[in-house]
Amino acid sequence: MKFAVIVFPGSNCDRDMYYAAKEVLGEEADLVWYESAGNLGNYDGILLPGGFSYGDYLRSGAVAATSEIMQQIKEHASKGKPVLGVCNGFQVLTEAGLLPGALMRNEKLSFMCHFEDLIVTNNETMFTSLFQTGETIKLPIAHGEGNYFCDETTLKDLQANNQIVFTYENNPNGSVADIAGIVNKKGNVLGMMPHPERAVEMLLGSDDGLKLFQSLVQNWRESYVVNA
């Protein structure tokens, strides 16, 4: 599987994402500068890393969401190919309209950087199939604007379509319904605030994030074999 790790001005978790895909998973991966993307059709999966794209000067993810490369990412997603957005990547996905809702300032208005326990609420996606539904995993968070918000109608829609993939066991930021990660209705676009790429080896304090990437690769390979 070949991954494109999209790098915007201000991205600072791109190397972590690249390391997880290339060195830990052993898959192909490229760091792709947002202005020199070429053809993203050559990639099987798109990874949008965390950080502070464009310094978060306007609104987290808002400027990156208008960049030219996002049109290619939307086309990639429309074909059912996987897109993973973590932290700032999640913010970009909501700002671009690829996922519903918005990320606001943390409830306590402070930056948070620590491990959190998450509950896997949906293991029937290409990102979570190696987890058990109800399983508790430990992933780090590092954000100031991780408070997920959506209106009541959208929340009911997310619940009805089983789009809520991860919830916080002890909600750190005020997110509605304890939401830590959601997928689109197709199930091929995942946005989450916690960092699975920072939890792929026990040296880092947890390897619970590894199964997310392994799930993605396994499902891609099964799909590739079927469609080949």
Residue 105's identity, in one-letter code, is R
202 contacts: CB under 8 Å, gap ≥ 6: none
As annotated, the active-site residues are 87, 195, 197
Phi, psi angle pair for 152, to nearest 5°:
-60, -40
Whether 39 and 66 have beta carbons less than 8 Å apart is answered as: no
Question: Which of the two residues, 206 and 36, has the higher pLDDT score?
Answer: 206
pLDDT reported for residue 225: 59
pTM above 0.85, yes or no: yes
Number of domains in the chain: 1
Domain range for 20: 2-227
Which of 2, 154, 12, 9 has its CA nearest to residue 87? Answer: 12
Residue 133 has pLDDT above 70, yes or no: yes
CATH number at residue 15: 3.40.50.880
